[in-house]
Amino acid sequence: MTGNNKLADMARLAAEWEQLGFTGITLTETGRTAYLSAAVAAVAAPSLSLTTGIAVAFPRSPMITASTAWELADATDGKFVLGLGTQVKAHIERRFGSPFDPPGPRLREYLQAVRACFRAFNGDEKLDFAGEYYKMSLLPAAWLPGKIAHPDIPIYISAVGPWMTRMAGEVADGIHVHPLHSVPYINEVLLPKVAEGAALGNRSVDDVALAIPVFTVVGDTEEERAPWKDRARSQIAFYGSTRNYAFQFEMLGFEGVSSKLNDRLKAGDLEGMSTLITDEMLEHYAVTATWDELADKLIDRYRGIASRLIMYFAQPQMERSPETKGRWGEVARTVAAAW
């Protein structure tokens, strides 16, 4: 997982990660666009799969998103996955100046509109999409991007709550699972809702891929693991302070943690937030291992569940400790072979 890189740096990083043995890059979108980073990475590292994880949907029209994804699918020889998400209301309305409500139904229709564009690009049908939020009916031949070898571009969405996960099961090709997750959440909450949605769409739960970011606390000594344990605690605390994610704690018996995190966040006590994340919580929300153990632990926890595993801390760990690059390469090759 990476994001917010300068484009020249993105080219260098993609080539390096390809050489190490990673099979793909998930590109986040914060201050810089995921799509431009994907384009640079596609040229620099042609064997890698590239996923926007996620690109913000609503500020871009479905046609703009579809056109960009079409070109990236062409550039990657079909190894591009379009990952979309809603972001939060404040950012959509106050940063992008775009409509947000209702986010779930709007994203569902957005996905369908993007697919209508894909079919029109491929010559399967005339563009004639008429939804509640998006209407598109004009695509002269001069503006067609041309057919490509891999027109069936997978669309993943970010989904956590029951409505979105059910919707993903019905219409999406995959889900970007939230980094704050436990295996019980995936098995007992997420997958049953995906199955409900899949049934509505006359599909199987197996038709919906799970892309899962993982917090890793890896090192051969306590000293080596310490900064990543601290970083994992901080990241879990940050995500967990959102009240919508309180159930992630409560379903495991950690009652009231999200509320306490939110209180400390409002008080500006960021250090105090991290202290609320216990070692027991880390066992659920992160993978702690020596270097020789990490690949096996990832395989044991996620094989049969995840379609792709995304290493949340790999880039910052390699940047902080360049000697770990070879170890990360070993882990990547071992996990990829197991899949």
Which residues, 6+ apart, have CB-to-CB distance to 275 below 8 Å?
A: 233
Across 6-32, average pLDDT: 97
Q: What angle do CA 176, 125, 77 make, to 5 degrees?
A: 50
As a CATH number, domain 7-215+296-338 is 3.20.20.30
Residue 307 confidence (pLDDT) above 90? yes
What's the start-to-end Cα distance of the chain, in Å?
19
Backbone angle region of 196, left / alpha / beta, with phi > 0 → left and psi within -120 to 50 → alpha: alpha
State the CB neighbour count (10 A cutoff) for residue 224: 16
Tens digits of residue pLDDT in 191-206: 999 999 999 999 999 9
Tens digits of residue pLDDT in 229-254: 999 999 999 999 988 889 999 999 99
Residue 52 confidence (pLDDT) above 90? yes
**What is the pLDDT at residue 244?**
85
- The single-letter code of the amino acid at 227 is P
Tens digits of residue pLDDT in 149-192: 999 999 999 999 999 999 999 999 999 999 999 999 999 999 99
Which residues, 6+ apart, have CB-to-CB distance to 9 below 8 Å?
A: none
- The single-letter code of the amino acid at 337 is A
Structure tokens, 7: 């484009």
**What is the pLDDT at residue 150?**
98
As a whole number of angstroms, the distance between CA 83 and CA 153 comes to: 10
Structure tokens, 288: 């702690």
State the CB neighbour count (10 A cutoff) for residue 175: 26
Across 22-32, average pLDDT: 96
> Where are the chain's structural domains?
7-215+296-338
